Every structure is written in C-alpha cells, then in structure tokens.
Chain A
Amino acid sequence: MFDIIPWRKANKAMLLEIKDLYVQVEDREVLKGVDLAIDLGEVHVLMGPNASGKTTLVKTITGYPGYKVTSGRIFFKSEDLLLKDISERAISGIALAYQNPPQIRGVKFRDLLRIIAGREPWNPLNGPEETFATELIVAAGLDADFANRDLNIGFSGGERKRAELVQVFAMRPDLMILDEPDSGVDIDSLKAIGKRISEVVSDLGCCVLVITHHRHILQYLRPDVAHLIYGGKIMRSGNPEEMIPRLEELGYEGYVKHTLGASR
C-alpha cells in the first residue's frame, strides 16, 4: 500500500492502523481479515456493496458492543484501541457521523452539543438565549430553532445528516468517520455539506474515512486513498482517481470480477 502514498515512510506509526481484523456480529463472521492504515492529514474513501462490511468496520472502530473482534488489532495514536470502550474511543479522537442516527426523546440537540464541548446543558433561567450550540447549528446550515428540538425527532433525511456533522465537528476529532453523509441528500445540499466538511477538516487538520457510493461528495473531500471492501475484506486500496471511474463503469461486482479476478 505504501506505493500509492508516496510520502508515507515505511515503519512509521500511522494514526489509525487496522491489522488483519476479523469481526463477528451475532455469531456471523462479517469482517474477514481487514487491513487499513490512515495517517495524519489523509482522507480515505471506503466503497463497497451493501452488506460488504462497511458499517461493521466503522462500528467496530467506534467500539460498539456486539461487534466482536475475534482476531486482529486496531491501533489509534499507537494505542491499542480494543482496550477502550466506546466513550473512551470518542474522547481519544474518533468521531462517527451515523448513516441512520437514533431519535432520542427529550434530549435537546443544544444540550448534547454543549455536553460534547464540555459545557453544562442549557438552563433557560441563566440567560435569555443559548448561543454556543445555536451558532454551531446555524454554521451547518440548519435553522437556529433546531437547538431546542429533541435529537433527530422530526428531522428530515438531509437535516439528520447535517445534525450528525454538527456533532462530529463539535467533538473536534482527529479521525472523522462519515458513514454515507450524502445518502438521501439533494444536489444543492450536497454541495453545501461537502464544502462545510472540507472547511472543517482543513481547520481541524483531521483525517477522514468516508463511506459513500457516489463520487459527488468526493469532489469536496478529495480523498487520497480509495478502498474497495467486498465480502468482509479490503479487496483493493489505490488511487481514487483511477479506481472510482472504473468502479462506476463496472459496478462493484463487475470490478471485482474483471479487475481482481484476473490478477488472482
């Protein structure tokens, strides 16, 4: 893999390093030997058909119970990530924007953002208006009144994606994992979302692992590496500019058959 990232040096520790990872979900083996390494400042895109293990991979990195690592290692900032629980991983710098976030009744969007940023939940007795969370929300292109709404309740598909990004940005992570930030989003919003992500990424100087089926969002993210996951394995990692047009032309199945089948 080092050949595709010329500036990487051999033996240098990566920000995130996944080695030969096997994961079971409900006694079924979903990941079957995944290797992946992301270094500081890099943007990676992970592509693959449904049920190929994309979400399993990100939930495993995030530390979800129920995703059982049967073998392999994950290192983040040279620490063994598998020893940490889900909130410890978030604190150490990993943030996930969910594809389908849950709705949580009674939990105000503003309060979660404030807690993420180490502040107290908003108390209306303390002041006339909440500003901290509201500014973050408005910056992501949502109306200010989202601050007072219950988390994800009554949010449209596009609003949920933006709400996810607001939270991930507020976490100021070192690694941002975006699970299909573009699904169900119209073209205009896509542009706005894409621009906003790239702004924040360059502000924070963080790494990105983005899952997507479409190249549009990648115009804004400009990935350094593309990975194709198929049947629970990374089948190929390479230059996105070469891989993605071929993937779009052949489809996941076709790409695997024609490109990789030949080299096997």
Chain B
Amino acid sequence: MTREISESKKKFLKDLNEWYDEYDKKFPEWYRKRRLKARKVYEEFEASGAPIGKYGADVDLMEFNPFLAPPRKTIESYEDLSKVGKEMVQTVGQRPDEKERTASHIQHDTTPAYLKYTSEAERLFSKYPDGLVVMDIDEAIIKYSWLERYVTRLVPLSLDKYTAWNSAYSQRGIFVWVKEGVKVEWPLQTCFFLEQARLGQLVRVLVVAEPNSHAHVVSGCVIQPECETGLHGCISELYLKEGAEITLSYIHNFQKKFHVRPKVGIRVGDEATFRSNYIQISPVESTQLYPTVILQGKNSRASLRSLIFGLGSSDIDAGSAIILSGNGARGEIISRSVVTDKAKVCLRGALKAYRANTKGHLECRALLLSDKAKVNAFPNLHSRSSEAELTHEAAVGKIAEEELYYLMSRGLKKDIATSLITKGFLDTDIPGLPAVLKAEIQKIVSLTAEEIM
C-alpha cells in the first residue's frame, strides 16, 4: 500500500533535509552517502505507510523535530550544571562528584555540553597511554575513517522506519574506544539530557572494545522536569572483540508524554563477554526496545537484564534477543517488570541457537499491581540444533496474598509489605558490575519502588 505524503509533511522533510545538508557537510563522504540513503529509505517507508517499527506503539516521527533545539551552553565542570540538572542526572546513574568514574559526558539536547576524563582516568593513562578514547561520535566519524566498517553495520539503517530516521537525522552521541588489553576499572558515565519540548533527540552510540579490553558504561537518559513531550531515539552499536568484557547499564527517566526508541545491536567475539542492565523508572507515552546480541565468537557470553516499571498509562514493548551462533556460546535474558496503574507492558525475549553446544536461558517475570494494568509475555526459543540447550521461565501475576499477609502479621503496614515484596521481586543479582554501581542501581530501583506505592 502506498500513500501520498501530505504537503505539510513534504514541506517539513524539505526543511529538514536542507538543514541536514548543511549539518552533514563536515562528514566524510562514506557517512554522507549513508545518511542520504537513510533519508531515501525513510521516505519509502513513510510513503508505504509503514509503522515506526515491527513492535511497539506507532508514532509519527515527524511530530518531533530533530533540529529544533537551540545550541546549549557547554560547561567546564560538573559543578557548573544546574541544581535541577544535577538532581536529574543522579536518577539515571550519573555521579556529579565524578568519584569512581573514569570519564563523564553530557549531551544537552543536541549540544555536546560536557566531556571530560576524570582524575581516575589519569591513573589509567599513566598505565595505558591513549588506552581509552571517549568522544562525541560526530567528531569521531570525521576523525577516524575506519569507523566506516562499524557505523550502521550492526543496526541496519533499513531495519525499519525508525532506524532510517535516526540514521539520517541523528546529531551527536558518543564514541567509546577501549584499546587492546586496557582494563578500565571505573565506569564511564554518559548522559543524554533533554530539555527542548517537541525535540526528537536522535543520537548514536558506538562502542569498540579491542581484544582483551574491559569497561563499564553507564548511560543515563533524562529530561528537564518542565519538558513535557519529546522523543528520545538512539542507535547503539557495540563491538566486542576477542576476550573483551563490556557491561552497559542504561537507565531511562522520562515523563508520561515521551516516546523512547533505543535500538541496540551487539556483536560478541571469541571468549568475549557482554552484560547489560536496562532500567526504566518513569512513565512514558511509549517505549520500544529490542536489543539484539550476536554471540558470534567461540565461547562468547551474554547476560541481559532488565528492570522495567510500567507506570501511569505507559505503553512499553521491551524485549531482548540473543543469537547463539558461536561454538560454545552461552546467553541469558532475565527481565523483571512491575506494572501498575493502566500501563501496558509487552515483554519479549528470544533465544536463537545455531550450534549444538550452545546454551541459553530466558526468564521473564512480571508483577501486576493494579487490575487495569496489562502484561503480555512472549518468550521465544528457536533452535536449529537438536543439541542446543534452551530453557525459559515466564511468570505473570499479582503479589501472592500469602506473602503479603505473612509480612503484615509481622506488624508491617500493607503498603510497606507490598513495597518490600516488590523490591524483593526486582532484586536480581547483577553479576560483573563493580560493587559501587550495583549499590547505586539497587538504590535507584528501590527508590522507584517506594515512590510508586
């Protein structure tokens, strides 16, 4: 089915393209070509009437202008961030004091507002000179021509209408390059801060972990509290080479009128390990994500965890997939969701095994705290080998009365007992995280659990 793009949309696209023609001038030719192709793919999707993606609520992307935001002030130090800004970034795992962090980054709307290696990084650089590169991705694309082999190679620009849009019109984002053998002890913190209402904040994240490198990335996405509506979109591509270990913790705190579309692709090499924690703590209008890990390497590992609060009238479609194609690959997906009010949460999980000696486990549990909340769970196991070992558990239900009354009979009020059980439900061990990060994440989760009671 094809349809005519309306005149107003045509006009909007024309302005958009003109603006980006100018913006893209700084880029190398290969990247400009991909951006132009992405525009074309987007227009084809738009003309065909395709929804924004395969899963999740449909959104008209043109409602959220990607170049709307004025340039924002850059800051020299985290101290210069506004009080509100500091409070907000802390809700998504950022530490304004920059203690126990290696680098800090803040993108304010479309402006790279802050990027600095901390004093912890000095120790790292004395051991590994130039061992770590953290920079704005648009600048990285200009600086490193080899990124041609990485950018848009894991999350194809033509995957859906959304990936085409984000690939064509992204501004900024972050590039992390951990050199061979470099072990980055303290996490890198990156933050996407959204202030301009009706902005489509479209960013790109690229992590390249060279052989035997280790790093933790904490990525927080948050808004200025007065900002009422917007779209946060992100394409993240992570490449883990032999023996690399990367953990990615990404925490989202938006508002009820926001659309959130992170697209994440990860390729894991021989003996390499990828771990992620996704935490969504606020109501949203819609969120859709389906990070996909390709365990391509021999004995590669992936562990994906997500904690999702379905609040207000959120429409959340969250899943993960692991493709087990390497010899001896192992993967697990563990998701917990607390769903309340009128929220609608769709939990997906897929394990696809292509080798005999691969193993995967999928566990998905949801706790319903209201009669009007809705949860659908779709656990999916595909095996192309009779000897692959794939298992899954899924459970959706309310708080067991037996547990509630038991705690109440210890003198706990009903709301305290409910919150304790809910926090317990969300308490999953997060292996491979530094203790400090584990404790910080647990604190965010337990604060949210208390707030919703």
Contact = CB atoms under 8 A, between A and B. Distances in A.
Interface of A: 62-65, 85-87, 89-91, 95-96, 98, 101-102, 104-108, 111-112, 115-116, 123-125, 150, 167, 171
Given A65-B405, A102-B403, A104-B403, A90 B410 contact: yes
A115 B406 contact: no
A200 B38 CA distance: 74
B425 A115 contact: no
A115 B409 contact: no
A58 to B, nearest CB: 10
Nearest to B425: A106
B413 interface: yes
Given A104-B421, A115-B420, A64 B411 contact: no
Contacts of B417: 87
Nearest to B439: A125
A246 B425 CA distance: 49
A63 B405 CA distance: 9
B406 A87 contact: no
Determine the main DSSP class of B at the interface with A.
helix
B405 A86 contact: yes
A104 B406 contact: yes
A87 B400 contact: no
A163 B410 CA distance: 13
B404 to A, nearest CB: 9
B425 A105 contact: yes
Contact of B411 (A105, A116, A123, A125): A116
Contacts of A89: 409
B409 A87 contact: yes
B411 A106 contact: no
Nearest 4 CB-CB pairings of A with B: A106-B424, A106-B427, A90-B411, A107-B424
Q: Please classify the interface of chain A as helix (H, G, I), strand (E, B), loop, or mixed, using the class held by over half of its residues.
A: mixed
Interface string B378-408: 0000000000000000000000111101111
B420 A96 contact: no
Contacts, number: 74
B407 A106 contact: no
Nearest to A65: B405
B416 interface: yes
Nearest to A89: B409
12 contacts: A64-B409, A85-B408, A87-B412, A90-B410, A95-B410, A98-B406, A102-B400, A102-B402, A102-B406, A116-B412, A123-B439, A124-B435
Given A64-B405, A87-B411, 4 more contacts: A86-B408, A91-B411, A98-B406, A124-B439
A125 B439 CA distance: 7
A101 B410 CA distance: 12
B409 A150 contact: no
Nearest to A63: B409
Size bracket of the B interface: 20 to 34
B420 A107 contact: yes
Nearest to A150: B424
Given A102-B403, A107-B420, A112-B420, A87 B408 contact: yes
Query: Max chain B CB contacts within 10 Å: which of A85, A98, A104, A116?
Result: A104
Interface string B413-453: 11011001101111110000001000100000000000000
A86 B409 contact: yes
Nearest to B336: A106
A90 B408 contact: yes
Contacts of B408: 85-87, 90
A112 B406 CA distance: 11
Nearest to A103: B403
B254 to A, nearest CB: 26
Contacts of A107: 407, 420-421, 423-424
Given A102-B402, A106-B426, A115-B416, A90 B421 contact: no
A154 B69 CA distance: 55
Interface in B250-304: none
A152 to B, nearest CB: 9
Contacts of A125: 439
Contacts of B425: 105-106
A35 B400 CA distance: 32
B424 A105 contact: yes
A53 B336 CA distance: 39
A121 to B, nearest CB: 8
A37 to B, nearest CB: 22
A87 B414 contact: yes
A253 B424 CA distance: 45
A106 B423 contact: yes
Nearest to B402: A102
A86 B408 CA distance: 6
B418 to A, nearest CB: 12
B438 to A, nearest CB: 9
A124 B441 CA distance: 13
Given A102-B400, A104-B421, A106-B426, A171 B411 contact: yes
B228 to A, nearest CB: 35
Contacts of A85: 408, 414
Contacts of B412: 87, 115-116
A112 B407 contact: yes
Contact of A96 (B402, B409, B416): B409
A247 to B, nearest CB: 29
A164 B295 CA distance: 46
Contacts of B428: 106
B435 to A, nearest CB: 8
A102 B424 CA distance: 14
Contacts of A108: 424
A62 B408 CA distance: 10
Contacts of A123: 439
A64 B423 CA distance: 23
Contacts of B421: 104, 106-107
A65 B427 CA distance: 28
A1 to B, nearest CB: 28
B424 A62 contact: no
A86 B424 CA distance: 21
A90 B424 CA distance: 22
A112 B407 CA distance: 8
Nearest to B417: A87
Given A107-B421, A124-B439, A125-B439, A116 B426 contact: no
